[in-house]
Every structure is written in C-alpha cells, then in structure tokens.
Amino acid sequence: MLIDFKREMRVEDIVMKERVAVFLFGSATCGPCVSVKKKLQLYSKEHKDVPIYYVSTDKFQRMAAQMDIFSIPTILVYVEGKLLVRESQIFSLTEILEKVDQYL
C-alpha cells in the first residue's frame, strides 16, 4: 500500500514496527519522482504487506534535511529496523524491489 506521510508519523516508529518499510522522498514537480511513485503504486497493489510511504519534500523539507536527503527522488528501504537501501537520483527501482522481495 502506498501511504502519504503525515505530520503525526515518525520514521523511527514505522521502521521499528514494520518488518520491511519503504520510503520515497520526492516532489510533485519532479518528473522522475512522479514516475517512481507510479511504479511503486503498481508494486504496492501486488505487495499489500509492504508499507510504502511517500514523503513530500515540499511539505517535509526539514525532516528530509535531518535525514541527509538533499536530492530527489530518494528511496530508503528498512528491513528489521536497519537501513538496507539508500539510493538517490539515478537508480534501478527493479533492483531495489528485488531486494525487498528477498525479505518477504
């Protein structure tokens, strides 16, 4: 499921609660971000057990900066509370999702 990140959410809480969690940091004005978001929406329909959070850098600039995210799109994948993948700008979403699938 693709979930829009909300102010009351905390990345730390989500990461500790979920076995696998995916975060996409992006903006509606970023073409590649929109494309990656659409692909993640399709993935989430087939993998309903994997929470995927879309974090708008327009709304959450401070949080992105605190997490050292200064370019978009950026994707973070956490497995069992540990950061497994951190990729920005140019990356293979297919390869990242294959890594996620290994932990399901």
From first to last of its 104 residues, what are the pLDDT tens digits of the chain? 799 999 999 999 999 999 999 999 999 999 999 999 999 999 999 999 999 999 999 999 999 999 999 999 999 999 999 999 999 999 999 999 999 999 99
Query: What domain range includes position 31?
Result: 2-102
pTM: 0.95
The total of structural domains in the chain comes to 1
Positive or negative, the Cα torsion across 52, 89, 11, 81?
positive
Q: Decide the pairing of beta strands 52-56 and 82-88.
A: unpaired
